[in-house]
Amino acid sequence: MGRKPRRKRKKPARKATLRQRLLQVLRWAAVLLAALLLADAYWLYRNWPDWEALANGPVPESRLIRDYRKSANIDAKLPAVRWQPVALNEIPYAVQRAVIIAEDGRFYQHGGFDVAAIRNAWQYNLSHLKVRYGASTISQQTVKNLFLSNDRTLLRKWHEAILTWQMEQRLDKKRILEIYLNIAQFGPGIFGVQAASYYYWGRPVWRVNLRQAAELAACLPSPSHNNPARYTQAFASRANSVYQRLNEVLERESRSD
């Protein structure tokens, strides 16, 4: 009798194997994502600000100031911290306006994020193939200075976005501006417009003139390199630009009154 031909075992379909591997990768990715989201939610819970105190209490010392003080304690070459917070009504309107002109022209119009500025910055950076301009608003910079590090990571930007959104919901614009003017850096170890005014001109901020208001605003966003003490060419150019625009804005506002 002849032998019956053996039946060939069917090999598992390659497509089925690839699909199983893909599903396994997706499962692990989902688990990892869930773990990261839980860890981030825990971080936000542990570091969630006391918005009521921030809205009504004294201007708090920012993380930027604390981090700088730690560095100055280690490096004797760094100047000591200078910081003298003052109420918004003690800061001249010209100083407030100059900083808004220099840093965030639509501060009172946006809800924490200037979409038009973000779009323009992206278009410029992409067309020049380098990151030269950002689009951080005063609200975003306030959050970063108050609570976050200077790390340029997506996670830090995510936390900045969440906290900025919440701050805009819980604080009014004048309070946000008051905090920013008191914690922004205006030179090595110099934080806030009052300390800056005393350091550069030996007078309280309420006595600065229009030119000095423009120079305070021109310190931002690179105060260690551009400030009235160093008076670089870049600083002089920025100060002149802010001064001219400040005069135009104040004149226009005076005519509309």
Reduced to 3 states, what is the DSSP secondary structure of residue 83? strand
Q: Find out whether 114 and 141 touch, Cβ atoms under 8 Å.
A: no
Span 131-148, pLDDT tens digits? 455 679 999 999 999 999
Per-residue pLDDT of the chain (257 residues; tens, 9 = 90+): 556 555 555 555 566 688 888 888 888 988 888 898 888 888 888 889 999 999 999 999 999 999 999 999 999 999 999 999 999 999 999 999 999 999 999 999 999 999 887 787 666 566 555 545 567 999 999 999 999 988 889 999 999 999 999 999 999 999 999 999 999 999 999 999 999 999 999 999 999 999 999 999 999 988 999 999 999 999 999 999 999 999 999 999 998 87
Q: Which domains does the chain have, with CATH numbers?
A: 63-256 (1.10.3810.10)
Residues 6+ apart with CB under 8 A from 184: 99, 141, 145, 191, 192, 193, 220
Order of strands across the sheet that contains 190-191: 82-83, 190-191, 185-187
Span 18-60, pLDDT tens digits? 888 888 888 898 888 889 888 888 888 888 999 999 999 999 9
Residues 6+ apart with CB under 8 A from 62: 145, 146, 147, 183, 191
User: Which alpha helices (H) appear in 57-183, and where do they start and end?
Assistant: 63-74, 93-103, 115-128, 138-147, 154-170, 173-183
CA 142 – CA 136 distance, rounded (Å)? 10
